Structure 1
Amino acid sequence: MNPSQRKRTALVALSVTVSMLAAACGDDGVGGDQAASDGGGKTNEAAMAKEISISMFDRGQVAAEEGTYENNRWTKWINENAPVKVKIVPVPRNQAQQQLNTLIASGEAPELIWEYDRTFISKLAAQGAIQPIDKYVEKYSTSYKKYLQENPELKPFLSIDGKLYAIASKRSVDTIANHAMWIRQDWLDKLNLKTPTTTDELLDVARKFRDGDPDGNGKADTYGIAFNGNGNGILRTLFLSQENQWYVEDGKMQFGRLLDRFRDSLEFQKKLFDEGLIDKEYITDTNFQRENQLMTTGKAGIILASWDISTVYADLKKNVPTANLVPLEPVASKHGKSGLYQETAPFIYVAFNSKMKEEQAAAAVKYLDWMIDKGWFTLKNGLENVHHKSVGGVPQRIDEAVFRKEVSYANEYAVVNQWNPKAEWFPVMAAQDAAAQEYAKKKSDSLSVAMKNKYRRDIPYSPDLPELSQLVATFDPIAKQIEAKVITGGGAMSPQQGIEELRKEWKRLGGDNVEKLVQEWYDKNKSNLK
């Protein structure tokens, strides 16, 4: 068959396909039955691949009876309802970037690769591991193209060198909020203490929690502070010095890990360690099981974690029914006060593997169009009248325990979504039993506290410079060793010696040249970074 014959045959097949789809869809609108658009209202069904693959973070949250991240009730639901079949490729959350890099290097990476970290996506673009997608969105998308037009503030985050390299939806307020502090109000009341508002007061309260026998068992077995993976970040944010963030100081770009403020955060952490205000075994507790256990068994008075700690809270109430854990507003240091870490506008950055052919890219766009339209809602809330019921348009969970087991792990399958709850929704959304309602009110308060103070972010994202990415990747493990020596090494290295050593290593690895490139990038792009 010659090219012109093939073209005529394809057009006939396309016409038949469109007619069948029109008859089948009725008034269903966009979504699972919608053929991808070529930008002019015509469909291009014949060009679609039948299946695509997409990465997924394995957080270890799928119960054995639910299956696996690759095969569970929600992967089956997706494949029964989405316009194309989808294969899930899970990667361990705490090793996601390393695992994705390995898959890319071996040629086994999925068609769609996603991360929360824009810097990682930028690095993949520089390596040629992912491809620009402007033409695919323009040619095949209807829903996401419209969504991006309605939310133009997303585009600078998704673009590199003027080309679109990722798809993302806006974060809802409950995903912009991230880090948070919680404190045992009943311990404060028992020891007649005021809520701390400064870092010095926080230290004093932590000492009283250690020494004052707040659990009343007559033993010196309590700690001031416990934390999860957010803990170090929180202790640095209190001093306005996130480690891998750039700050603009008098028009000059400064790397957070090299600032005097970062030294002050190391000094604060060292006091916590040296005085036994935190568990000294935390350094080997890489999955934070022991830290969580200290809080949930009533042995710690403050936890540095996330704004939503439903599991920790539930376990604490089981073990200590009288516990009153409440959100704690970030305290001020001598450098002022900042909100704790809050995410930037984009949710998940979904990139297209550079090895994808057009028919796969067309199918991927169609899948993401379906997801942004309606697929996301069920993955976020479960099935109506099984996991939730609608109350005034708000999805109310029917049974909290069932929801946690059967639905909560599905959240990230909805890689693009339009979820945007209000703080006052949480009591409505939660199951109506007393325990669920108690935490829902705490959760509402916690979200309000988490968003009360603006997080300091001088530029919206790090510079798109391969030299910077390489330097940070090399510098990070060296820096962590230095910081651990400062915090846990007794008199081996003071905080001042530590910051000097950090600066020395940064310089040795080519930091001066990278700072020059970063400054040039900022001067060139600062009008677009507001």
Structure 2
Amino acid sequence: MSKRRMKKGTVLSVTAALSLVTVLAACSSAKEETAKETDKPAASGTAAATTQASTAPAKRGSISVAIYDRGQVPKEEGSYTDNRWTKWINQNGPADVKFVTIPRNESQQKYSILFASGEAPDLVLEFDNAFINTLWSQKQLLPINDLIDKHSTEYKKILEKFPAIKKLATKPDGKMYEFAKVTKPEVLGTMVIRKDWLDKLNLKIPETVEELYQVADAFANKDPDGNGKKDTFGINLSQFASYYVDAMFQNEMFIVENGELIRQFDRIKPAYEFKKKLFDNGIVDKDFLSDKNGQKAEQDFANGKLGIYLAYTSVVSKNFDTLKKSTPDAVIVPMAFPKSQYGQFGPDFNPPLALTASVNAKAKDPQAVMQYVDFMVKPSTVEVFTNGIENVNYKKDATGCPQPIDAAKNKTEMGYINDYKMFMPTYNLQQCTIGGRSPQSTNAVDQEWIKIAKEMDKLYLDPARPHPGFTHSKFRPSLDKDLNTIFNDGWNNMNDIMAKSVVSGNSYTVDQGVKDVKDAWDKAGGKKLEDWYKNWYKENKSSWIFMDELYKMKFD
């Protein structure tokens, strides 16, 4: 076994804390899809169901499959193990499936008990890849290479179309142990600007961080709303906005520089000098640190008092409707993150791949498990678990898009369906909404937002302006408990110390903050983590999924 292979592990979110036996951190997907569900088990209700039933293998297997229990199944719908969707699966699928409930917030504890007692399900569904890595190290999981080669048709097609999955799912022994969900990448964060304010002040969209400061200063101090009062803010720094400013300066903890993966410190100072200049000159809300959930900034944007808004796209969309009511003449446009001396970057996004399913090493009928996976990733099955049953839950409009027959009824029947489709691919579904809104809508605000959403995709899913990390946070290599503590402490110390430098005037400078960050890092054993990352990158740079590959994946 090569040294490189021994170093390679599954990925770990930077905030997850991995113990030697089990992982107590709950890990959710940056964003889990909503889906719709059927009325009654369709014994013969649709052509798709009939086709699927007719292609079931002669030998019908019997398997057990995990399902998260979130306490969301209405009483009239039954339970997570017995409802219209479990019945539909058993009537139309290739195997008899027994569902095993896993409490969502205690999944690792429950799995540990089930594996210890020999009662773990055949197909393990879990978002926390670090915990799956623990199961693998305990030899609790079955390699899936041969299963796919010998018994798969549908999933094999996905693997052939997206070879990056193999990189992601391969463990240090050179074998694959996880099935991946494939989605189209989704913009999470955005930066929008009041175009009507720019026009009024005869300014253009800023392209550099220097221009960004000048525009934000004008928005705060030149009365862009024309009410004769100094009651507007140029830009926000609350909640995620501070991290988006960091992204402009590539102020990540670890970056690739000169062919090595290093812990950088030189980008901290310019990023925080920029924030401090905004704060000292009254361009941002002085209470931004106390606005931890970003609600004050939301209100300022929705009430027409914020010129440049950095936030999640879903938050901007929600408040856009309110803005158009409070300030009908307001015009916002998305903008690329301005360039700094370190390059040009973009906001965070949901990556197109996620590892979500593994096979129990003690599964009695692995072939039936593979047949079940193939059935569940089949396009016709994915459509059912996304939209429900045609003419029962929806009808198609002239464009072929599903329109709910009874939205309230669907909410009851389909509100708990999401976790049954944890490994279902959705990249090839017909796009029937843009930015969460229907292109068929006659609402002018919806149409305005659709144009904004399209532009966001162009700006933020461009490999020329990537998120500044060396890979997505979900795909960082696993760290042992001590190294993970060093990482998390380093991140928290940097943000806490440097925030103090922004709001403390001359009593605590940015230079002193950077010095204290470095001292805290060294004291916590940061050099040990630096060496680990340096060696890991050297040995895995040709076999890992890095940021550029995530932007360049094709879905056509």
In structure 2, the partner of 1:17 is none
1:389/1:44 Cα in 2 relative to 1: closer, same or farther (>3 Å)?
closer
1:524 aligned to 539, 545, 555, which one?
539
2:207 aligned to 190, 197, 200, which one?
197
In 2, the alpha carbon distance for the partners of 1:26 and 1:377 equals: 13
CA offset at residue 366 of structure 1? 5.9
CA offset at residue 277 of structure 1? 2.5
2:326 aligned to 291, 294, 319, which one?
319
In 2, the alpha carbon distance for the partners of 1:522 and 1:29 equals: 50
1:253 aligned to 261, 272, 277, which one?
261
1:316/1:26 Cα in 2 relative to 1: closer, same or farther (>3 Å)?
closer
TM-score, length-scaled by structure 2: 0.70
CA offset at residue 103 of structure 1? 6.2
State the structure with bigger RCO (CA 8 A, min sep 6), 1 or 2.
2
CA offset at residue 149 of structure 1? 3.1
CA offset at residue 501 of structure 1? 2.1
Bigger shift: residues 442-451 or 325-334: 442-451
Kindly indicate which of the two structures has a greater share of residues assigned to helix. 1
1:191/1:252 Cα in 2 relative to 1: closer, same or farther (>3 Å)?
same
In 2, the alpha carbon distance for the partners of 1:388 and 1:323 equals: 37
1:238/1:163 Cα in 2 relative to 1: closer, same or farther (>3 Å)?
same
How many residue pairs get matched? 475
In structure 1, the partner of 2:160 is 149
TM-score, length-scaled by structure 1: 0.73
Preserved contact between residue 307 and residue 450 of structure 1 (Cα < 8 Å): no
Structure 1 residues 154-194: Cα deviation after superposition (integer angstroms, max 9, x where no partner) = 11122231343432233314x2x332211111121222221
CA offset at residue 306 of structure 1? 3.4
1:224 is paired with a residue whose SS is strand
Structure 1 residues 430-489: Cα deviation after superposition (integer angstroms, max 9, x where no partner) = 342123222222211221122243304545642334253342134333333223222333
- What amino acid does structure 2 have at the position aligned with 1:464? S
Preserved contact between residue 381 and residue 388 of structure 1 (Cα < 8 Å): no
Preserved contact between residue 181 and residue 356 of structure 2 (Cα < 8 Å): no
2:61 aligned to 45, 55, 67, which one?
45
In 2, the alpha carbon distance for the partners of 1:464 and 1:409 equals: 31
In structure 1, the partner of 2:94 is none
1:272 is paired with a residue whose SS is helix
In structure 2, the partner of 1:7 is none
In structure 2, the partner of 1:358 is 363
In 1, the alpha carbon distance for the partners of 2:237 and 2:383 equals: 32
- What amino acid does structure 1 have at the position aligned with 2:276? K
In 2, the alpha carbon distance for the partners of 1:425 and 1:249 equals: 40
2:339 is paired with a residue whose SS is coil
- What amino acid does structure 2 have at the position aligned with 1:164? M
1:464 aligns with 2:496: no
1:122/1:288 Cα in 2 relative to 1: closer, same or farther (>3 Å)?
farther
Preserved contact between residue 487 and residue 529 of structure 2 (Cα < 8 Å): no
Structure 1 residues 251-309: Cα deviation after superposition (integer angstroms, max 9, x where no partner) = 22112xx3311332222222233333332333233322222222112121111123454
In 2, the alpha carbon distance for the partners of 1:129 and 1:298 equals: 57
Gaps of 5+ in 2: 1-42, 91-96, 547-556
In 1, the alpha carbon distance for the partners of 2:50 and 2:404 equals: 29
1:215/1:55 Cα in 2 relative to 1: closer, same or farther (>3 Å)?
farther
1:462/1:170 Cα in 2 relative to 1: closer, same or farther (>3 Å)?
same
**Aligned counterparts, 1:399-438, within 5 A:** 414-415=421-422, 416-420=424-428, 426=434, 429-434=438-443, 435-438=445-448
1:113 aligns with 2:126: yes
User: Identity over the aligned pairs, expressed in percent?
Assistant: 27
1:134/1:213 Cα in 2 relative to 1: closer, same or farther (>3 Å)?
same
How much is the aligned-residue C-alpha RMSD, in angstroms? 4.5
In 2, the alpha carbon distance for the partners of 1:380 and 1:228 equals: 35
In 2, the alpha carbon distance for the partners of 1:501 and 1:90 equals: 42
1:496/1:387 Cα in 2 relative to 1: closer, same or farther (>3 Å)?
farther
1:437/1:486 Cα in 2 relative to 1: closer, same or farther (>3 Å)?
same
In 1, the alpha carbon distance for the partners of 2:365 and 2:284 equals: 51
1:443 aligns with 2:458: no
In 1, the alpha carbon distance for the partners of 2:256 and 2:478 equals: 17
In structure 1, the partner of 2:341 is 334
In 1, the alpha carbon distance for the partners of 2:289 and 2:319 equals: 21
1:219 is paired with a residue whose SS is coil
- What amino acid does structure 2 have at the position aligned with 1:180? T
1:226 aligned to 224, 236, 243, which one?
236
In structure 2, the partner of 1:291 is 297
1:269/1:447 Cα in 2 relative to 1: closer, same or farther (>3 Å)?
same
